[in-house]
Structure 1
């Protein structure tokens, strides 16, 4: 199982287990108090979107109350991409460790079984993820602030300038672009357009 998938699976199990424990405790308290109404707080019937934010938060951290989309809009974009970078870094370390074991077993070879990704491959994948996330944010904004069935046209260079969002510049500095700022700028600009269009109708 890939390292990132394993980490996500582990966090999902932890979140579901925490929910089940909380449910049992609350039902026990309800019975102890002699309540005739059973208090059910369980994961059954709860949408996955309500628990998905737990997967990308540090262990012990709690997301803000509210719908999952509000959690995403207030900070999940940067956190999501940072989690990818962390998984990428951890994966590289594990590749290196396994490659060293192979060398101890078989010695140096021109055709190793384990090939760790090189710097160019890592940078290319990181850039692809950043560009794809930026595209997804823009498309989400177009869907969310559509006027009727008409989706707004977004001039990417202009929005990127307003958000001071530059993938190449950020990655060349060893940083990540601010996806949360990009979303905030999009949200502010498109909400104003959406509001004025609604008033004009």
Structure 2
């Protein structure tokens, strides 16, 4: 079972943040098991006990980090975003700074690669795409008292920072807004592309790439 890295965003919302390597590895095993079971059983049949059994840890270890399965899938989504940002950053390091189209291709290619290969990604990419269930506690807030941003806002923030650094631009409100619009559009269209095709409808993927490229060319071109 692979053990993926756990970044700072993944730790947000945990009942307990691992401070030792052994705890970090255990957390990663729990999230790996959660991802595998999402592919096998779906969200409705997912349980914390099944995750503990698959991960080979006591059920108390799961509850040490998570209060319920929704909290666990939310952490998986944040780990996916950490991994995605790392992959994009590595790709950008190989691309000339002025080549914004290659940078955009890297952003889209890495998402598609994760969509096709990362366990659980179909249900939980960067945000839990499952029913929210009955009303719970008040919405999470940051240390400054602001609402925690939703998945696509998180993605837009990370991509705006990466692309601004790559292209030597200022990550101010205008490019951030345009990246958010592009993320929202690509998200909806990629959901359509993968709805009936596990590998993604190639024609819809091509159209999505062209649409996002034409839209961002106003700012990046």
TM (norm. structure 1) is 0.32
TM (norm. structure 2) is 0.29
Q: Please say which structure displays the higher CA radius of gyration.
A: 1
Give the structure with the higher percent helix. 1
